[in-house]
Amino acid sequence: MNGAHAIVETLLKHGTDVTFGFPGGAVIPLFDAYLDYKDKIRNVLVRHEQGAAHAAEGYARASGKIGVCIATSGPGACNLVTGIADAYMDSIPIIGFGGQVPTSLIGNDAFQETDMIGITLPITKHNYQIRDPNGIAPTIMKAYKLALEGRPGPIYIDLPKDIQSKEVTEAFPNEVKIVGFQPTIKPNPLQINKAAEAMLHAEMPLFLIGQGVMISNAHRELQELVNLTGIPVTTTFMGKGAFDERHPLSLGIVGMHGRKIANYATLQTDLLITIGCRFSDRITGNLKTYAENAKIIHADIDPAEIGKNVKVDIPIVGDAKEILKELIVMVKKLAVKEKTKWVSKIKQNKKTCDDCVPVKETKRIHPKHVMLELNKIMKPKDIVVTGVGQHQMFAGHFIRRSKPRTFISSGGAGTMGFGFPAAIGAKVAKPDSNVFLIDGDGSFQMTIQELGTVKEGNIKVIPIIMNNSYLGMVRQWLELFSDKRYSEVYLGRTPDFVKVAEAYGLEGIRVEKKSEFLPAIEQAIKNDVTTIVDVVTEEESNILPMLLPGGHLKDAFGGCMAAPGKYFRGD
């Protein structure tokens, strides 16, 4: 068995039967081995390595399993970098394999040599360069452990060409130990008691749920705890799907483009129970006034997140599932009851917020309309993937999701071009779900070459392009904060996405009227191949409400609930 076989064997041992990759000189031996494992493992041949990394992310985000991407040395591996950095920001478990020049040439500036260990150091949970074929299995085993356990994250592995072809002489170990890696899973019972006591005594408690709850597969426990205590729930953008947004106690997402009801509740609450969230600046706005009336409980598996941005009153380190389980036990013991006054107020305000989503009559289609229509047609198990920009925030604000891992988006990094390849990865992970890609004309063009991947790989996704001919989010900022000095944001009315689709042997439908949208989606669902639905939307619509970066949550402006601050102050 040579090194390349050992790599494939180790992947198979961990249940990886699909990878996303692109070949090149330094990974010829690795892809050669794929021919010997034809019926066990397949590679999705992407058209650009960035697509491989995002597809691996999409696969991981949709399934909870590790996504694997492969690129050759030098430029190939460099092209993985954006995806790896994206996965790092959003705690996504992927393993990136990059080829490397033979060990004898490392450090000599050989052809296609790049120091990938140096480059990926700040954007990976850990990285390895394997310099001995016998080190292949143990290293990859460590990578799987590290990527998935504790707070997940990307691992990069550098594979010099010669070790891929050299013979492996030692047997694979049964397990590997990493001395310096022992994440805390079980929470401290004292902290759980404190948290439950606080929940008992609080008058206006509120859950703030982050992606951590989804990562540890704890949505059922969360649901149970909410049903037991009657505490309302907001989620972060990344936590979307961790709690059923159709539940009467769900307030939707918080933050810069969050729902006002969620942001106002954050200001009013006297106990913010935060689980698996890192208090990003897009969530908190001004830290000095953030949740200023609240005692804060912060539960996270990564101790470094606690106290990093927000002062915490009751820290809990541990796995979200374990924490929720323990909280359920304590809450039952203390007989924590629903705070009826607070809950009825929340429900009433929520109704105002829900009823207050008028779709403006515009000449072209308003993005809000698309989101509301999609809510009607999507099944709970269907997956929404987004690009980055206005359309992403429209989706975050208006799309309702009920199941975890059915809303996939680049949160922390905000990577334009993420959507399409991530949708491919999600579809590969969940072939029985419809995967709707809500993308912008700007974002989609950044990774448009993957149309070749879906055609040749028979992968069917449904790209819905919110085509406003602008780089909409930047245009919105320029309109609101730069006195409409539009600079470098107009893309024009090209390309013709329908023709592009046809050029790749795919289908395309242009939607110019509201009434055409649902039939187009229905047709796209029916079609066997990927069908681009090119929706010509209002050129200068804004995603509102919006909070100024670093602003006070009460000052979110636009959208529902009239004047900023009024609702909160007059309440």
Partner 1 sequence: MLLADAWLPRENISGVIEMERRHVIAMLVEDQPGVLTRIAGMFARRGFNIETITVGKTTKKGESKMVITVIGDDDMLEQVEKQVNKLIDTIKVTEMPDERSVIKELCLIKVNIANQKVKDEILKYTDIYKTKIVDITTKEATMEIIGDPGKVDSFIDLMKQFGIKEVSRTGVTAISRSR
**Where in 283-302 is the site for partner 1 (CB under 8 A)?**
287-288, 302
* Integer Cα distance of 128 and 163 in angstroms: 14
Query: Is the separation of the CB atoms in 161 and 102 below 8 Å?
Result: yes
Of 271, 322, 276, whose CA–CA distance to 297 is shortest? 271
* Integer Cα distance of 273 and 299 in angstroms: 8
Q: Is 125 or 166 the residue whose CB approaches partner 1 more closely?
A: 125
Q: Does 479 bind partner 1 (CB under 8 A)?
A: no
Q: Which two tokens stand for residue 347?
A: 């429900």
Span interacting with partner 1, options 12-20, 115-123, 328-336, 344-352, rule CB under 8 A: 115-123
CB of 309 to partner 1, least distance (A): 7
Q: Which two tokens stand for residue 290?
A: 């953030």
Neighbouring residues of 494: CB distance < 8 A, sequence distance ≥ 6: none
Catalytic residue among 9, 20, 31, 49: 49
Q: Does 122 bind partner 1 (CB under 8 A)?
A: yes
Query: Is the separation of the CB atoms in 271 and 436 below 8 Å?
Result: no
Asked if 112 is an active-site residue, the reply is: yes
**Binder to partner 1 among 12, 170, 178, 348 (CB under 8 A)?**
178
Query: Is the separation of the CB atoms in 414 and 388 below 8 Å?
Result: yes
CB of 322 to partner 1, least distance (A): 20
Q: Does 125 bind partner 1 (CB under 8 A)?
A: yes
Q: Does 179 bind partner 1 (CB under 8 A)?
A: yes
Q: Is 147 or 254 the residue whose CB approaches partner 1 more closely?
A: 147
Asked if 111 is an active-site residue, the reply is: yes
Catalytic residue among 1, 112, 172, 197: 112
* Integer Cα distance of 334 and 440 in angstroms: 50
Q: Is 120 or 211 the residue whose CB approaches partner 1 more closely?
A: 120
Q: Does 307 bind partner 1 (CB under 8 A)?
A: yes
Of 244, 314, 239, whose CA–CA distance to 273 is shortest? 314
Mapped onto helix, strand or coil, the DSSP state of residue 184 is coil
CB of 121 to partner 1, least distance (A): 6
Pattern 61-100, binding to partner 1, x per CB under 8 A? ----------------------------------------
CB of 202 to partner 1, least distance (A): 22
Query: Is the separation of the CB atoms in 272 and 299 below 8 Å?
Result: no
Catalytic residue among 238, 371, 473, 546: 473
**Binder to partner 1 among 308, 337, 341, 569 (CB under 8 A)?**
308
Catalytic residue among 9, 116, 125, 161: 161
Question: How many Cβ atoms are within 10 Å of 503's Cβ, its own excluded?
Answer: 12
Neighbouring residues of 439: CB distance < 8 A, sequence distance ≥ 6: 386, 387, 391, 419, 420, 463, 464, 465, 466
CB of 270 to partner 1, least distance (A): 19
CB of 160 to partner 1, least distance (A): 14
Q: Does 121 bind partner 1 (CB under 8 A)?
A: yes
Task: Calculate the alpha carbon distances from 181 to 120, 121, 167, 245, 326 in Å.
Answer: 19, 17, 30, 36, 24
Asked if 407 is an active-site residue, the reply is: no
Q: Is 131 or 194 the residue whose CB approaches partner 1 more closely?
A: 131
Span interacting with partner 1, options 304-312, 385-393, 408-416, 521-529, rule CB under 8 A: 304-312
Q: What share of the chain is helix, strand, coil (3-state, %, to 5)?
A: 45, 15, 40
Q: Does 351 bind partner 1 (CB under 8 A)?
A: no
What sign results for the dihedral spanned by CA atoms 114, 116, 118, 119? Answer: positive
CB of 90 to partner 1, least distance (A): 17
Q: Does 126 bind partner 1 (CB under 8 A)?
A: yes
* Integer Cα distance of 55 and 427 in angstroms: 9
Query: Is the separation of the CB atoms in 472 and 438 below 8 Å?
Result: no
Q: Which two tokens stand for residue 126?
A: 């850990």
Binding-site size, partner 1 (CB under 8 A): 20
Q: Does 111 bind partner 1 (CB under 8 A)?
A: no
CB of 232 to partner 1, least distance (A): 27
**Binder to partner 1 among 45, 110, 117, 334 (CB under 8 A)?**
117
Q: Does 175 bind partner 1 (CB under 8 A)?
A: no
Asked if 473 is an active-site residue, the reply is: yes
Asked if 161 is an active-site residue, the reply is: yes
Query: Is the separation of the CB atoms in 64 and 92 below 8 Å?
Result: no
Q: Which residues form the catalytic set?
A: 49, 111-112, 161, 473
List of residues contacting partner 1 (CB under 8 A): 117-118, 121-122, 125-126, 146, 178-181, 287-288, 302-304, 307-309, 311
